[in-house]
Amino acid sequence: MPFKELGLHSNILKGIELMGFSQPTPIQKEAIPHILAGRDLIASAQTGTGKTAAFVLPILHRLMNQDKTKNVRALVLAPTRELALQSTQQLEKLSTYVNLRGCAVFGGVPIDPQKRAIAQGVDIISATPGRLLDHIYQGHINFRDLKVLVLDEADRMMDMGFLPDIKRIVSLLPPTRQNLIFSATIPEEIMSLARTFVHDPVRIQISPKTTTAAGIRHAVYPVSHEQKTDLLLKILCSEDMRDSSVIIFVRTKHGADKLARTLQRTGITLGVIHGDRSQGQRLQALDRFKARKFQVLVATDVAARGIDVKDVSHVINFDVPHAPGDYIHRSGRTARVEATGDAFTLVTPEEEDFLKDIEQLINQRLPRVVLPDFPYRKAPMHFSRPAGDRHRPHGRKHFPPRGGQGRPQGSGGHPGRHERKHFAK
Kindly report the average pLDDT of the chain as a whole number: 83
The confidence score (pLDDT) of residue 333 equals 81
Helix axes 51-64 and 26-36, enclosed angle (nearest 10) = 30
Q: Is the pLDDT of residue 288 over 80?
A: yes
Q: Is the pLDDT of residue 309 over 80?
A: no
Closest CA to 359 of 338, 381, 384, 378: 384
Residue ranges and CATH numbers for the domains of the chain are 3-205 (3.40.50.300), 216-423 (3.40.50.300)
The confidence score (pLDDT) of residue 421 equals 43
Q: Is the pLDDT of residue 124 over 60?
A: yes
Q: Residue 203, exposed/middle/buried by CB under 10 A (0-12, 13-18, 19+)?
A: exposed
- What CA–CA distance (Å, rounded) separates 105 from 115? 9
Q: Is the pLDDT of residue 404 over 50?
A: no
* Cβ-proximal residues to 182 (8 Å cutoff; 6+ apart), any chain: 43, 44, 45, 51, 54, 55, 150, 151, 152, 153, 154
Q: Is the pLDDT of residue 84 over 50?
A: yes
Q: Which of 46-50, 59-63, 182-186, 373-377 has the lowest mean pLDDT?
A: 46-50
Higher pLDDT, 299 or 279: 299
Higher pLDDT, 100 or 239: 100
The confidence score (pLDDT) of residue 242 equals 80
The confidence score (pLDDT) of residue 362 equals 86
Strands (E) located in 308-405? 314-317, 341-347
Helices then strands (H, E): number in the chain?
A: 15, 13
The confidence score (pLDDT) of residue 337 equals 58
The confidence score (pLDDT) of residue 45 equals 83
The confidence score (pLDDT) of residue 304 equals 55
Containing 217, the helix (H) or strand (E) segment is strand 216-222
> What is this structure's pTM?
0.64
Local structure of 159: helix, strand or coil:
helix
- What CA–CA distance (Å, rounded) separates 406 from 124? 48
- What CA–CA distance (Å, rounded) separates 24 from 206? 13
CA distances from 329 to 182, 197, 332, 343, 352 (A): 14, 27, 5, 11, 19
* Cβ-proximal residues to 261 (8 Å cutoff; 6+ apart), any chain: none
Mean pLDDT value of segment 394-423: 39
The confidence score (pLDDT) of residue 396 equals 33
Mean pLDDT value of segment 124-138: 96
- What CA–CA distance (Å, rounded) separates 136 from 116? 14
